[in-house]
Amino acid sequence: MMDTDDFDCHFRRAVSHDVEQLDRILHKAVLEIYGGFETGRPFVAQPLFSEIAIVGSEIIGVAAFSDEVLTCLYVVDRFRNSGVGTCLLHNAMLSGVRATTIPLSNVWGQAFFEHRGWSTRGEIEAKIFGAKTRVVALSFG
């Protein structure tokens, strides 16, 4: 097992040869965040991933964004609380990201953003994977 207190992490844009690893990571993410994978399959199939975090040859985190909206931020379990998520968010913000939504049930995610200066703008109903879901809208600035 890798020592997550001392690791060399690199960030880069996702490319086509990352698809297999991204599929595995996103399978775990969808199960963890949304409670099921079949509803998340269309999400995994989309070429959304703007940036990935890599240690060695392993993808340990992903961020997806379009224009000013962050659509996904996920770090594998053993690298959480190591700064990887904060770096992915910072890099997305350098690209102009200022808004996101997260499922209402993801209180850890909401705390992550608020701790980094993001503000909760309220709860809304959104369509995620074709299903209506309550989400928290957050913004920066």
Q: Could you read off the pLDDT tens digit of each residue along the chain, which spans 141 residues?
A: 445 566 889 998 888 888 888 888 877 777 776 665 454 444 444 445 689 999 999 999 999 898 899 988 999 999 999 999 999 999 999 999 999 999 998 999 999 999 999 999 999 998 776 778 899 999 998
Q: What is the pLDDT of residue 34?
A: 65
CA 98 – CA 68 distance, rounded (Å) = 5
Q: What is the pLDDT of residue 128?
A: 73
Beta-bridge partner residues of 86: none
Measure Cα distances from 10 to 48, 61, 62 in Å. 19, 10, 12
Q: Which of 75, 50, 57, 53 is nearest to 9 (CA)?
A: 53
Which domains, ranges and CATH numbers included, belong to the chain? Answer: 9-139 (3.40.630.30)
- Kindly report the backbone phi and psi dihedral angles of residue 129, in degrees, each rounded to the nearest multiple of 5, phi listed first: 55, 35
Q: What is the pLDDT of residue 3?
A: 53
Question: pTM for the full model?
Answer: 0.79
End-to-end CA distance of the chain: 39
Beta strands (DSSP E) in the chain are 9-12, 49-55, 58-66, 69-75, 99-103, 119-128, 131-139
Give the count of alpha carbons within 13 A of 141, CB side only. Answer: 7
